[in-house]
């Protein structure tokens, strides 16, 4: 696309969903349990996801103005990458594209949804805390407080207007991905102490021994 910009770089109740990993796929098998082909696809997909330190993750994405075949292809590629990475959400920033585009599929039985130029119109007063991970932050799992329900306006990849009401995991994923589009990471939504622990976990996950431990306990939280 012409406008495409790529860069090399209160005590709330606990969620009824339990600990939720956003953006890795809920219920995904441990890395060590994946068949070789699936693991190879996952590893290849994760290599294409921008990680902490890349400036694109701190940039604010720009609104999409053209709804054309290029945008539809962008959404298709993002959905494919998200699935290959065993994720449930992905924002365009995470693949180096500064468009206000996100894709998500909170549950396996859901269809893939693309939100272009999403705007959160309202949120519930009720808050929930759940554990989140992020494909751009390997090994990081932190408890994040968010509104339990949201109303969002957006367009789909063909330019049709959308109005969504989401709750639970879907609401959490949408908020997580819109944060990405605004240059906000889950590290920005936790205490300083928790942030230090998260950074330490990420460093350990990137070491060979940490990778082995991650493989034994579950999928990496990278997106």
CB 120 within 8 A of CB 152: yes
How is residue 101 annotated by DSSP? Answer: E
CA distance linking residue 148 with residue 202, whole number of Å: 27
125 is catalytic: no
Pair 137, 198: CB distance under 8 Å:
yes
Among candidate residues 22, 58, 49, 69, the one with its CA nearest the CA of residue 219: 22
- The tally of CA atoms less than 13 A away on the side-chain side of residue 136 is 28
- The Cα 222–Cα 200 span in angstroms is 15
Catalytic residue among 108, 177, 204, 211: 177
- Count the Cβ atoms, other than its own, within 10 Å of residue 117: 19
Query: Which residues participate in catalysis according to the annotation?
Result: 177
């Amino acid at each position: 696309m012409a406008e495409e910009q790529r860069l090399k770089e209160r005590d709330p109740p606990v969620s009824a969903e339990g600990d939720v990993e956003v953006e890795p796929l809920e219920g995904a098998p441990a890395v060590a349990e994946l068949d070789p082909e699936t693991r190879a696809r996952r590893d290849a997909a994760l290599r294409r996801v921008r990680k902490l330190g890349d400036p694109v993750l701190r940039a604010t994405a720009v609104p999409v103005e053209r709804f054309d075949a290029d945008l539809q292809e962008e959404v298709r590629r993002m959905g494919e990458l998200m699935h290959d990475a065993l994720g449930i959400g992905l924002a365009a920033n995470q693949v180096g594209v500064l468009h206000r585009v996100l894709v998500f599929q909170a549950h396996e039985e859901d269809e893939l949804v693309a939100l272009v130029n999403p705007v959160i119109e309202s949120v519930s007063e009720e808050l929930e805390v759940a554990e989140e991970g992020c494909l751009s932050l390997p090994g990081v799992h932190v408890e994040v407080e968010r509104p339990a329900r949201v109303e969002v306006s957006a367009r789909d990849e063909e330019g049709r207007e959308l109005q969504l009401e989401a709750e639970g995991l879907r609401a959490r994923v949408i908020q997580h991905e819109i944060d990405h589009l605004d240059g906000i990471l889950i590290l920005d939504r936790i205490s300083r102490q928790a942030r230090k622990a998260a950074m330490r976990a990420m460093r350990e996950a990137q070491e060979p021994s940490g990778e082995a431990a991650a493989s034994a306990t579950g999928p990496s939280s990278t997106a």
